[in-house]
Amino acid sequence: MNTPSIDRAYLLETLRDLVRINSINPTLVPGGAGESEIAGYVAASLERCGLSAVRYEPEPGRVSVVGTLTGTGGGRSLMFNAHYDTVGVEGMAEPFSGEIRDGKLYGRGSYDMKGSLTAGMTAAKALADAGVALRGDLLVAAVADEEYGSIGTADLCARLKVDAAIVTEPTSLRVCLAHKGYMWIEVEATGCAAHGSKFEQGVDANMRMGRFLGELEKLERELRGRPGHALVGPPSLHAATIAGGSGLSTYAASCKLQIERRTVPGETDAQALAELQAIADRLHVADPSFVATVKPFFVRQPFEVDRGASIVKCVDRAVSSVLGKAPEYFGDTPWMDSALLSAAGVGTVVIGPHGAGAHADVEWVGVESVERLADILVRVALEYCA
């Protein structure tokens, strides 16, 4: 059969409208609008296109929408996944303009990642308009909160069973097969509070933490010197925040350091944590009065998919057909919701449009690349869900 055509007018209208809706993540920016308004728009649009639309609310006011083009049965199911929450707009001259200049549509979230969501919605519309009878279900998931805790996709992983997913994070139409994970870890060094004049009584936790930081710097250099992963490179870490003490004339009783450790496919959380615990243990052996605790408080796994996976092969053929050349494969460094889907047993790959300015003062997405992505997604669904 002929490939269903993309409705360019719908694509442009939807992309503009999505960018013009304020969906700032309220966890990142107190008072942010959140996803309620944009969820209503997406649900209504998907329903007009012939899909069923269901809203999920993993936390009060944090809404995801899943539109489903129901298959005839017996086929594999596929999800197009995109988040529609955004970071803040401070410093932006045109945060919600949706204006197009030189083929670029501007505004917060245009690139990260309302252009991607538009492509998924447009692809589903093309299939519905053409009356294509897919055997497997096609799902368009517009998810909440990716910019902070990814509660949207985590919630859907617990609710829905799908065979494969395409996370449409922007990649300039390259195919992403892997990305890094991360751990947030708190180290607390313990001292003893005393008046600043009583050196014989006080133990300075801040200075104790200085010993830990010295050893941490050595580990950081060693991590970057490792051979690393073929697609995403070596692991890394940085000392993100540090706080200790209660007053100028008081010895600090506690000093807390927060570390971000970026992990690569093949590493384990236990391994990464053990390397930090080993620093605290060595310092305690050298000086038994040195006391520090090492505790992780947030973990996101790295992601990797085999190039021979069925969904990857489908994407390969679709990209080759649309672009007229074989796709470029790569690994990325930022974390994405693809890791959650993969961990839930869903065959997952990442491909998205071209653009720039994620979290920056000027953000844009290339309209032509959104249209091409929609065409790619149509072709993948035709093959994978057939």
What residues act catalytically? 85, 146
- Residue 354 token pair: 């071209």
Residue 190: closest CA among 206, 212, 174: 206
Cα–Cα distance list, 119 to 141, 284, 345, 365 (Å) = 12, 55, 25, 12
Residue 298 near residue 211, CB atoms below 8 Å:
no
Q: How far apart are CA 104 and CA 335, in angstroms?
A: 25
Residue 336 half-sphere exposure, CB side, CA atoms within 13 Å? Answer: 30
Residue 370 near residue 119, CB atoms below 8 Å:
yes
**Quick one: DSSP state of residue 216?**
H
Residue 146: closest CA among 186, 116, 120: 116
Q: How far apart are CA 176 and CA 232, in angstroms?
A: 10
Q: How far apart are CA 312 and CA 20, in angstroms?
A: 33
Strand partners of residue 311: none
Cα–Cα distance list, 370 to 183, 272, 362 (Å) = 32, 38, 18
Q: How many CB atoms lie within 10 A of CB 171?
A: 21
